[in-house]
Structure 1
Amino acid sequence: MSGDARRRLTGTGAAGGARPARSRTLERVQELHDAPLAPLTTFRLGGPAARLRTATTDEEVVAAVREADAAGTPLLIVGGGSNLVIADEGFQGTALRIATAGFELDGTRLELAAGENWSDAVARTVEAGLAGIECLAGIPGSAGATPIQNVGAYGQEVSATITDVVAYDRRADETVTIPNSECGFSYRHSRFKADPSRYVVLRVRFELEDAGGLSAPLKYAETARVLGVEPGDRVSAQTARETVLKLRAGKGMVLDPEDHDTWSAGSFFTNPILDEEEFAAFTVRVAERLGSDVAAPAFPGEDGRTKTSAAWLIDRAGFTKGYGTGPARISTKHTLALTNRGDASTADLLALAREVRDGVREAFGVTLVNEPVTVGCAL
């Protein structure tokens, strides 16, 4: 590993469990009242927070959470805002924006503060010649959100490289380090998502691979095909990253303020994972609607189940690219992204989401599950 691959940025808060000096710490936390939340989300939707605090160190995060919990104040954690759907009425509590900074690379070991920009962090690991997260390039949001969702794309998931997660346990009132084996990772899920009111992620640690500038073995067929190689092959990690960025941009999945197709949360619905009975019933519905010669996408899932494509279901149910006539519509580039065309409300977005979800269920008997977190509203 070259010297360039060993870098340390300081200025971060302590990751340990020592109690902060409460009054002095909270004096440093930026606070606004009746503060707009829409600009902090990639949807650019939602009403204001009664109070918005911004924490720049782990110490400040823990102190602000402790204060809210002690007062019984509702608390909303905001990172990069790429996975939030906030009600038009806003949030009647404290929204805590995590703006901590810290990128620490020691050989193949990477530690990121929760507030670090994820896409930038991926780029820096590739520049350092490391492999393991290069196909997760361009995913908007902060590093702290990655273990919560077990973020994944183009054949990679963070669960494959995360070694442990440092989090504040609100129930135990202490900072804990949770190893990968206890994170409960599964498809777009984790123990942090299962119990969202308990943990506040502070830092995420990874073990990457020094592959001499090459990528990890490519697992996603589309990526391999575009690169002219076979699944399982390696290419330059930089080439893999750039290819994924182009693929994502072509689907409106790379943030661009001028492109309303990117005013979204990326994939709005997760890919359904069906057990044997559910998949058999689904296959019958596909044949009835589309013909016996049509086969739905099917991939091996967890626990012997079968994963199918939410995008395929949405499209075949009649919700094609650009669907909709109102201010919230399906992306013109990808059927899985619901978008704000500039003047939508959260109510507009949810109405579209319900229409798509209910239409797919009526057509195929499969109920899609939203991936973004809803705050003060629901499908």
Structure 2
Amino acid sequence: MPDVVSVNAVTPAFADITTVGVGGRIGVFVQPRDRVGLIEAVEDADSRGLPLCVIGGGSNLLVSDGDFPGVVVRDARQGVSVPDEVAPPEGGEPMVHVNAPAGTNWDDLVSYCVRMGLIGVEGLSGIPGTVGASVVQNIGAYGQEVGRVVDSVEVWDRQDKVTACLRASDLGFGYRTSLLKRTMYQAPAVPDDRFFPTPRYVVLSVTLVLRHGSAARVGSVQLAGALGVVPGSVLPLGRVRQAVLAVRAGKGMLEDPYRYLTDWMGSCRRAADLEEALTAVQDDIHGPGGGRVLLDRHSCGSFFTNPVISREAAAALPEDAPRYPAGEGGRAAHVPMVKTSAAWLIDHAGFHKGFALGRGSAAALSDVHTLALTNRGGAGSDDLVALARAIQEGVDRTFGIHLIPEPVTPGINLV
């Protein structure tokens, strides 16, 4: 049976278990330690008609300060396994499968893969959250997306009350989205009446397919610049990982590792990987940014997705606005789309690094990245919502583009 903290005992608030440190008291908090317990916890909440929030690392979540009257389930299972041979057989297939339960910390998995010489996720180093959340969001950075290396995802189907194995081709991966995520919404940022804030399909475990090797090709121009090489260069996996972590740290896009020393987060990371993160952040704290380094990390990460717009809308933007091919979409079939930068739009609409609605406000843009809305200490959900809405309105007014929030926002309307 799952470990349960009931409404009659001390329960956490969302502020205790999210990276932004915001959110109200939780009614029932459940931490299943096995696969059956996870399914039972989800099914019990659904059978009683209670609001359900299955949470990962709490990094992509902005919750209202009001009490949450339902059940929050956090998968307490950790670990990584390799069903295949860790070392490639001589002359054999260079591919290898890696499996992890949904509750495994994502960066712990990346660290493991790099140590084992498994290529394909090193560019995703340092992204906060869990393995389960990674496939819901289709996390991506520096030329890689998790959807490109997914073999299969085992899920609990809340509608049909069965487990299922979804192959990569079933999951409809796209830019920061998947079939899993889309079951939560009627339209972008418009919650589904039945499956919100938890998808129809609850992730139980994920199997990736990676390549054996000790070095990886650097496809990202930004990452190549940080490494001092030309794009396409092949470098040792460990060096690539450390460069990614350094770039993310410089943008405030790593989480605050001290959160894992608190009562509610203490069992959520592998000890050796946590120690490495704590050592690294100490170096940052004693650097030029000082103590503000941690404040920049108290966020939901990237708060808005990069808009994908028509060619006509892209042509109307200023000449120096970023433009990237974004495949096809729109109401008509085979319509070429363009992706632009939300961070650029925010900055050029007048919301610069460190922007706040008032002097000394507890909510402000990060000092190092305009795409992160941060809790500077004591911020409530209303503070962050007011800042987010001001930015949405400003970008809409300046460029005619409406920014869509990336985090899941229970109890909050940011359409």
Using structure 2 for the length normalisation, give the TM-score: 0.80
Matched, 1:300 2:325: yes
Encode CA deviations 1:147-186: one digit per residue, 9 max, x unaligned: 1000001111001100111000011101100000010100
Equivalent residue number for residue 291 of structure 1: none
Asked if residue 319 in structure 1 is aligned to residue 351 in structure 2, the reply is yes
Shift of 1:77: 0.8
Q: 1:347 aligns with which of 367, 379, 382?
A: 382
Question: What do the CA deviations read for 1:189-224 (whole angstroms, capped 9, x no partner)?
Answer: 00000003211001011001112x101x22210101
Distance of 1:36 and 1:345 partners within structure 2: 12
Contact 2:314 2:323 in 1 (8 A): no
- Alpha-carbon contact 1:35-1:51 (below 8 Å) kept: no
SS of corresponding position for 2:315: helix
Given residue 235 of structure 2, which amino acid in structure 1 is its aligned partner?
V
C-alpha distance in structure 2 between counterparts of 1:205 and 1:346, whole Å: 35
Q: Is the counterpart of residue 214 in structure 1 residue 215 in structure 2?
A: yes
- Amino acid across the alignment from 2:3: V
Corresponding residue SS for 1:301: strand
Q: CA deviation at 1:230?
A: 2.1
Helix, strand or coil at the partner of 2:175:
coil
- Report the equivalent of 2:129: 141
The residue that corresponds to 2:202 in the other structure is: 200
Query: Which residue matches 1:157?
Result: 145
Q: Which of 8, 26, 31 is the aligned partner of 2:5?
A: 31
Deviation at 1:234, TM superposition (A): 1.7
Moved more, 329-338 or 70-79: 70-79
Paired with 2:312 and 2:66, the residues of 1 have a C-alpha distance of: 41
**Whole-angstrom distance in 1 between the partners of 2:125 and 2:352:** 26
How do residues 202-281 of structure 1 correspond to structure 2 at under 5 angstroms? Answer: 202-211=204-213, 213-215=214-216, 217-256=217-256, 257=258, 259-281=294-316
Question: Residue in 1 aligned with 2:52?
Answer: 75
Aligned equivalents of 1:125 and 1:199: distance in 2?
A: 26
Say which SS state the counterpart of residue 358 (structure 1) adopts.
helix
Q: Give the residue type in structure 2 aligned to 1:276.
A: R
Match of 1:185 in 2: 173
Aligned with 2:371 (options 319, 336, 342): 336
TM norm structure 1:
0.88
For residue 18 of structure 2, what is the aligned residue in structure 1? 41
Q: Distance in 2 between matches of 1:137 and 1:90?
A: 34
Residue 96 of structure 2 corresponds to residue 117 of structure 1 = no
Distance in 1 between residues matched to 2:45 and 2:6, nearest whole Å:
15
CA distance in 2, matches of 1:297, 1:175: 43
2:162 corresponds, among 168, 174, 191, to 174
Deviation at 1:90, TM superposition (A): 2.8
Residue ranges of structure 1 left out of the alignment (5+ in a row): 1-24, 287-293
CA offset digits 1:43-64 (Å, max 9, x no partner): 1100011111111211111001
Gaps of 5+ in 2: 87-95, 185-194, 259-290, 329-335
Tell me, in whole angstroms, the C-alpha distance in 2 between the residues paired with 1:349 and 1:236. 40
Q: Distance in 1 between matches of 2:150 and 2:238?
A: 21
Displacement of 1:98 after TM fit? 1.7
Instruction: Single out whichever of 69-78 and 28-37 deviates more from structure 2.
Output: 28-37
CA apart distance, 1:276: 1.9
Of 70, 80, 87, the residue aligned with 1:103 is 80
Q: Which amino acid aligns with 2:56?
A: G
Equivalent residue letter for 2:72: A
Contact preservation (8 Å) 2:122, 2:240: yes
Structure-2 separation of matches of 1:199 and 1:97? 15
RMSD between aligned alpha carbons?
A: 1.2
Q: Deviations over 1:30-50 (max 9, x none)?
A: 223254221110011000111
Helix, strand or coil: the match of 1:314? Answer: helix
**Deviation digits for residues 233-279 of structure 1 (CA, Å, limit 9, x no counterpart):** 22111111000000000011112246110000111011111112222
Corresponding position of 1:86? 63
What secondary structure sits across from 1:104 in the alignment? coil
Q: Which runs of 4+ in 1 moved over 4 A?
A: none
The question of 1:50 aligning with 2:85 is answered no
In 1, Cα distance between equivalents of 2:365 and 2:379: 12
* CA contact 1:269–1:368 (8 Å) conserved in 2: yes
Q: Is the 8 A contact 1:79 1:99 kept in 2?
A: no
